[in-house]
Amino acid sequence: MTTTVLPTIIGRFAPSPTVPLHLGSVVTALGSYLLAKQGGGQWLLRVEDLDTPRVIPGVADDMLRTLETLGFQWDGEVLRQSRRSHVYTATLDRLLRSGVAYPCGCSRAEIARIATAPHPGDEGPVYSGLCRNGLPAGKSARSIRVRVSDEPVCFQDGLMGCFCQNLATLGGDFVVKRADGLFAYQLAVVVDDAESGVNQVVRGADLLSSTPRQIHLQRLLGFPEPDYFHLPLVTDPDGAKLSKRDNAVSLASSRDLEREGHLLLLDSLRFLGQDPPLFLRNASCLEILSWAVGHFSLDTVPRHAGPFPRHS
């Protein structure tokens, strides 16, 4: 009799050091950690410091210290995108050689002027494909785009259910290397997840609409498609999205996480629809995380955004 060996779950948390760690970050870190560890898997940490002009010095190190103070323990070394340009370059060259990527000479202003779609997509107005068949006379390359097809990209999200998007009508061929020379998030995240063996992606619902573009790249590159889980966003009591800066929970903020970190974890569990017992109110962060790994239920996680509880 043969025994089927299931692949090890490899999850990850990938904050961007453009703002301090905030409530939504803690919720995402917690959800991704619990799902990975509950399945006996690994939990990796990646610092997405690719957008160097927006990175705030010192924030990345503060994020790591904050996570450690809250009891999180990651597997392996921390991956930093700013040190991986050579990997992204090699992948981009592969896309160009295969003909699925091409240089584009259009500026944002020009794309906006000639766009036919009345509603812009996630990355602005829908791109017309002006440079798809070669740079027009008088134009020089500014960015590099990837071709998309006029058919839906669908996937089954572990929380939000089936999600489909037609990339051609919602944005058109999208940028994988920007005019300023920086690699786009969509390319970097796909390459990093594949190289690290990540097969479980847990993140905020604000990134749900980015997933079809990433799946499109995965298919072009022959990368496996991870399982996706998009957690509900934290809002204020009126339903408005919280300002990340105004809700910082890092050690660099005024919060005393040495004394109150366990309460923050308990509130984060409640936001995720869990019901931690009263005796954990006086427990350490490590004890709370240990309990949560054994009791976390995906079934009770809300499917919609909501305010952060303040029961503690």
Q: Which secondary structure element, helix H or strand E, spans residue 170, and what is its range?
A: helix 167-170
- Tokens 């990850």, residue located: 12
| β-strand pairing of 10-13 with 42-47 | parallel
What is the rounded distance in angstroms from the CA atom of residue 70 to the CA atom of residue 269? Answer: 13
pLDDT for the residue numbered 3: 53
33 by Cβ neighbours in 10 Å (0-12 / 13-18 / 19+) ranks as buried
pLDDT for the residue numbered 123: 61
Architecture of domain 10-84+190-307: 3-Layer(aba) Sandwich (3.40)
What homologous superfamily does CATH list for 85-184? Glutamyl-tRNA Synthetase; Domain 3 (3.90.800.10)
CA-based Rg of the chain, rounded to a whole angstrom?
A: 21
What is the rounded distance in angstroms from the CA atom of residue 111 to the CA atom of residue 128? Answer: 7
Domain ranges across the chain? 10-84+190-307, 85-184
- Please say whether the beta carbons of 138 and 106 come within 8 A: no
What is the rounded distance in angstroms from the CA atom of residue 91 to the CA atom of residue 31? Answer: 30
3-state DSSP assignment of residue 207: helix
Q: Give the pLDDT of the chain (312 residues) as one tens digit per residue.
A: 555 556 799 999 999 999 999 999 999 999 999 999 999 999 999 999 999 999 999 999 999 999 999 999 999 999 999 999 999 999 999 999 999 999 999 988 888 777 654 455 556 788 989 999 999 888 889 999 999 999 999 999 999 999 999 999 999 999 999 999 999 999 999 999 999 999 999 999 999 999 999 999 999 999 999 999 999 999 988 777 776 666 888 887 767 898 899 999 999 999 999 999 999 999 999 999 999 999 999 999 999 999 998 755
pLDDT for the residue numbered 117: 47
- Tokens 């020379």, residue located: 181
Q: Which of 54, 44, 33 is nearest to 79 (CA)?
A: 44
3-state DSSP assignment of residue 69: helix
Confidence (pTM): 0.93
Measured in whole angstroms, how far is the alpha carbon of residue 96 from the centre of its chain?
A: 25
pLDDT for the residue numbered 112: 79
pLDDT for the residue numbered 145: 98
What is the rounded distance in angstroms from the CA atom of residue 215 to the CA atom of residue 206? Answer: 16
Residues 6+ apart with CB under 8 A from 92: 101, 144, 176, 177, 183, 187
The secondary structure of residue 254, as a DSSP letter, is: S
Q: 85-184: same fold as 10-84+190-307?
A: no
pLDDT for the residue numbered 252: 75
Report the chain's terminal Cα–Cα distance, integer Å: 53
